[in-house]
Amino acid sequence: MTVLALIGAKALYLLYAWLIGAIVASWLSERKGYGERPGLATGLLLSLAAILVWLVIPARADSKWKLQGPLPFGSKGETVAEARARGVGEKPEP
**CB-side neighbour CA atoms (13 Å) of 85:** 5
Q: What is the pLDDT of residue 75?
A: 59
- Dihedral angle sign, alpha carbons of residues 84, 87, 91, 94: positive
Q: What is the pLDDT of residue 94?
A: 61
CA distances from 80 to 12, 67, 72 (A): 38, 7, 11
- Rounded to a whole number of angstroms, the distance between the first and last alpha carbons of the chain is 72
Query: How long is the chain?
Result: 94
Q: What does pTM read for this prediction? A: 0.78
Q: What is the pLDDT of residue 56?
A: 96
Q: What is the pLDDT of residue 70?
A: 86
DSSP 69: -
Per-residue pLDDT of the chain (94 residues; tens, 9 = 90+): 677 677 788 889 999 999 999 999 999 999 999 999 999 999 999 999 999 999 999 999 888 888 888 887 765 666 777 777 777 656 655 6
Q: Cα(40)–Cα(23) distance, rounded to whole angstroms?
A: 7
Residue 18 sits at φ, ψ, to 5 deg, of -65, -45
